[in-house]
Homo-oligomer: A and B are copies of this chain.
Amino acid sequence: MAKQKKAPKPKAQTPKGFRDYFGAEVTERAAMLASIAEVYYRYGFDALETSAVETVEALGKFLPDVDRPNEGVFAWQEEDSDWVALRYDMTAPLARVYAQYRNDLPTPYRRYAMGPVWRNEKPGPGRYRQFYQCDADTVGTASMAADAEICAMLSDTLEAVGIPRGDYVIRVNNRKVLNGVMEVAGLSGDDKEAERGIVLRAIDKLDRLGPDGVRALLGEGRKDESGDFTKGAGLSEAQIDAIMRFVDAPLRIKELLETQINEVEKHRAGSASTDTESSLLPSGIMDGLTSLKSVVPRIIEDLERSIAASGELIPTRSTMVATFRVLHEVVGASEVGAKGIDELYQIADLLEAQGYGPDRIVIDPSVVRGLGYYTGPVYEAELTFDVQNEKGQTVQFGSVAGGGRYDDLVKRFTGQEVPATGVSIGVDRLLAALRSKGRTTGEAEGPVVVTVMDRDRMAEYQKMVAELRSAGIRAEVYLGNPKNFGNQMKYADRRGSLVAVIQGSDEADRDVVQLKDLVAGAEAAKDATLEEWKARPSQIEVARGDLVAEVAKMLEAARGA
């Protein structure tokens, strides 16, 4: 550090919107990312680490047409040279890399990337300007097998990091289905972009406003409770109906499932026609759905189990079949809509073959988030277990990952259209989920602290920790001023240590050590004198030669406590 003569003292502060991560916050994230990387690797994805810095030109979104092009990114000008910026995501650098190395990279190129990204945005509670992203993308193939593979991989990944099956669901939709709906509603064509934007935003508000609110926004507009009026898309009744068939699709699917349940109940009671299969899957819908046909017996079985268990609908193959029926109703004669459904068929089919049933991955037309950005299939991983939100309400944990197909990734560099599909995991969200499931604690176990009773015998204390470490036990000698024994105990407490080791000259003469179980008496020990402290029952004396074995035993007991 250069000397700062006479300069005022600098403030020791993290820059606004940034934060520091300590101990377990770092190691638990690292462990989670390592688990994820292992799954990605097994799926044939290769690691890629690009530099944090990119030229603004390559990042794309931001052009140096103003003096300081840092809208949303951290950017600066190199000496007499290019503007550069910190990457704001992992996708823009992937596009640059694929264009730059396309002759050397395999095609298709499966890559994963994990690391920090930076956003020059107004920070808020829990919103930081640097955060981790963890992406996997397949570049250079239009095959739906690539999308199906990423959905399967996402499922494996969630289970690998510790989210049990049943506590998550991956929902798949297709942008083209929505395009089909737009077509049916007479809203396709370049000149209708503004209307489509309003429609998309209206659909996205379904959760908050309900179907009637959405309907109002599609028509003349909507007055909210405060009296404020939001202008609508001004669609005709027929147009609105077409859109609302899409919005209502989840409800329709539910209805259909109830019908199916009735069919199954009749089937069980022996009163159904022998044609349960065709009532579940009317012939029209089966075009191109060959492999799903074979699952009908299992659909019936699933439904029976579902009815027997709780009467509630669980995500099953049956939902998938019902979904396809409703989607066919929704896109009508639209060609792009039919293409979208066909792509969803293919994905469902491939996933079915690999054993990923709707208990893990479902086709769900209600996935709208991000539809504006993507060009084909979109997918989203949602955690379905309950947590308390900040208001104390019980809510589902919600989305932790999302992605989809975006086919003009590399075009801006090369002019060539390169199909690609990929997913991004919200690292902090997933980590928070693991904490709320008790999979990680957010706190590291402190080391065994060997206290210093006699400064001249430091070498012997060091020998003790060396032995403990050799046995794989995290351990350290107290390296502060050893005079005040209470300070050594306070230190061990602050470290979250479970066990402390003491050996004064008396113990040394008798070739023994004292082991203190810190879990029992941590609070009380803070102000204890050495004598008081030794009197506690949670302390035992063991032979010096048994140090490692006895500490290991005590740690095991303390961890169980």
Interface residue ranges, A against B (CB under 8 Å)? 1-2, 4, 7, 9-16, 18-27, 30, 34, 37, 41-44, 46-55, 57-58, 60-61, 63, 70, 74-76, 78-79, 81-82, 84, 86, 91-92, 95-97, 99-101, 106-108, 110, 116, 118, 129-130, 138, 140-141, 143, 145-146, 148-149, 152, 156, 291, 349-350, 352-355, 406, 408-409, 412-415, 444, 447, 458-460, 462-463, 466, 469, 472-477, 479-480, 491, 494-495
A14 to B49, CA, bound (A): 12
- The answer to whether A43 and B479 touch (CB under 8 A), given A1-B95, A49-B20, A494-B106, is no
Q: Within the complex, which residue of B63, B149, B474 is in contact with A477, where a contact is CB–CB below 8 Å?
A: B149
Tell me the nearest residue of chain B to A481, going by C-beta: B141
Interface SS of chain A: mixed
Which of the listed residues A34, A101, A145 has the most CB atoms from chain B within 10 Å of its own CB? A145
Q: Within the complex, which residue of B50, B141, B460, B474 is in contact with A44, where a contact is CB–CB below 8 Å?
A: B474
A187 to B229, CA, bound (A): 83
Q: How far is the CB of A66 from chain B (nearest CB, A)?
A: 13
Q: Is the CB of A49 within 8 A of B26?
A: yes
Q: Is the CB of A472 within 8 A of B47?
A: no
Q: How far is the CB of A431 from chain B (nearest CB, A)?
A: 13
Residues on B with beta carbons closer than 8 Å to the beta carbon of A2: 60-61
A552 to B541, CA, bound (A): 53
Q: Is the CB of A355 within 8 A of B41?
A: no
The 8 closest A-B pairs by CB, nearest first: A44-B476, A353-B459, A12-B99, A26-B47, A18-B51, A76-B76, A44-B447, A354-B466
Q: Within the complex, which residue of B110, B350, B354, B462 is in contact with A353, where a contact is CB–CB below 8 Å?
A: B462
Q: Is the CB of B130 within 8 A of A51?
A: yes
Q: How far is the CB of A546 from chain B (nearest CB, A)?
A: 19
A406 to B3, CA, bound (A): 13
Q: Is the CB of A141 within 8 A of B55?
A: no
Tell me the nearest residue of chain B to A482, going by C-beta: B143
Residues on B with beta carbons closer than 8 Å to the beta carbon of A82: 15-16
A511 to B27, CA, bound (A): 47
Q: Is the CB of A100 within 8 A of B469?
A: no
Q: Is the CB of A412 within 8 A of B479?
A: no
Residues on B with beta carbons closer than 8 Å to the beta carbon of A58: 10-13
Residues on B with beta carbons closer than 8 Å to the beta carbon of A475: 42-44
Q: Is the CB of B54 within 8 A of A15?
A: yes
Tell me the nearest residue of chain B to A102, going by C-beta: B12
Q: Is the CB of A48 within 8 A of B26?
A: yes
Tell me the nearest residue of chain B to A112, going by C-beta: B26
10 example contacts (A-B, Cβ-Cβ < 8 A) are as follows: A16-B81, A18-B53, A20-B51, A24-B47, A42-B474, A107-B491, A138-B479, A143-B458, A350-B459, A355-B463
In the complex, the count of this chain's copies comes to 2
Residues on B with beta carbons closer than 8 Å to the beta carbon of A37: 27, 30
Tell me the nearest residue of chain B to A56, going by C-beta: B10
Q: Is the CB of A23 within 8 A of B46?
A: yes
A57 to B7, CA, bound (A): 11
Residues on B with beta carbons closer than 8 Å to the beta carbon of A460: 353
Q: How far is the CB of A354 from chain B (nearest CB, A)?
A: 4
Residues on B with beta carbons closer than 8 Å to the beta carbon of A118: 52-53
A129 to B74, CA, bound (A): 17
Residues on B with beta carbons closer than 8 Å to the beta carbon of A95: 1, 12
- The answer to whether A412 and B1 touch (CB under 8 A), given A49-B21, A460-B353, is yes
Q: Is the CB of A476 within 8 A of B26?
A: no
Q: Is the CB of A100 within 8 A of B14?
A: yes
Tell me the nearest residue of chain B to A8, going by C-beta: B57
A19 to B180, CA, bound (A): 43
Q: Within the complex, which residue of B53, B129, B141 is in contact with A479, where a contact is CB–CB below 8 Å?
A: B141
A548 to B388, CA, bound (A): 45
Q: Is the CB of B100 within 8 A of A13?
A: yes
Residues on B with beta carbons closer than 8 Å to the beta carbon of A350: 458-459, 462
Residues on B with beta carbons closer than 8 Å to the beta carbon of A479: 108, 138, 141, 143, 145-146, 149
A552 to B81, CA, bound (A): 53
Q: Within the complex, which residue of B129, B152, B491 is in contact with A106, where a contact is CB–CB below 8 Å?
A: B491
A415 to B75, CA, bound (A): 34
Q: Within the complex, which residue of B42, B108, B469 is in contact with A472, where a contact is CB–CB below 8 Å?
A: B42
A466 to B42, CA, bound (A): 10
Q: Within the complex, which residue of B10, B107, B130 is in contact with A413, where a contact is CB–CB below 8 Å?
A: B10
A479 to B101, CA, bound (A): 19
Residues on B with beta carbons closer than 8 Å to the beta carbon of A13: 55, 58, 96, 100
Residues on B with beta carbons closer than 8 Å to the beta carbon of A27: 37, 41, 47
Q: Is the CB of B34 within 8 A of A480?
A: no
Residues on B with beta carbons closer than 8 Å to the beta carbon of A74: 53, 76
Residues on B with beta carbons closer than 8 Å to the beta carbon of A52: 52, 86, 116, 118, 130
Residues on B with beta carbons closer than 8 Å to the beta carbon of A84: 15
Known A15-B51, A15-B53, A15-B84; 5 more pairs at CB < 8 Å? A1-B60, A14-B100, A26-B49, A30-B34, A42-B474
A55 to B52, CA, bound (A): 18
A2 to B72, CA, bound (A): 13
